[in-house]
Amino acid sequence: MNKGIVELIFELKLTCMSKEESIRKDLKLSPAEYKGLLALEPGKVFSCMKLSDEMGLSKSRGSRVIDKLIDNGYVKEAVHSDDKRVFNVTLSQKGLNAVKKINSVMSECEHAILKNVSESELKAFTNTLHKITEIVKPG
């Protein structure tokens, strides 16, 4: 029996989530901490409010996640020259290494896809994914 579109999408999602979960477990990160690390750009300073927004969290929940990232050494406090009252963070060396590891695993997955799928197939698939995303997007 052929699988339906939604079933295939869920299967792909579960496969990707499994890889993500493996990385998170290895780095001892919660899903929110993982998302926070990926939201931070190397070398850039983020206010806690901006990082909370990037993670899709309330300021209070974002603050707790950021505190955990600081406690675990993934981010460090960074003083913003304009306003010393604003609490800012940036990736620490440990955080940079974690982001590199995450990006490396993502690149390996993407490379495996690219070497087994033609450029035209990939373009058609990507366009179809964008279309499906727009169709099922709420609102």
Per-residue pLDDT of the chain (139 residues; tens, 9 = 90+): 688 888 988 898 888 888 889 999 999 999 999 999 999 989 888 888 999 998 889 999 999 999 999 999 999 988 766 666 678 899 999 999 999 999 998 888 888 888 999 999 999 989 998 999 999 888 7
Domains and CATH numbers, the chain: 5-136 (1.10.10.10)
Q: Are 55 and 62 a contacting pair, CB within 8 Å? A: yes
| The residue type at 87 | F
For 74-109, what is each residue's pLDDT tens digit?
Answer: 999 887 666 666 788 999 999 999 999 999 988 888
Structure letter (DSSP) for residue 86: S
Contacts 24+ apart (CB under 8 A), 55-60: 57/32
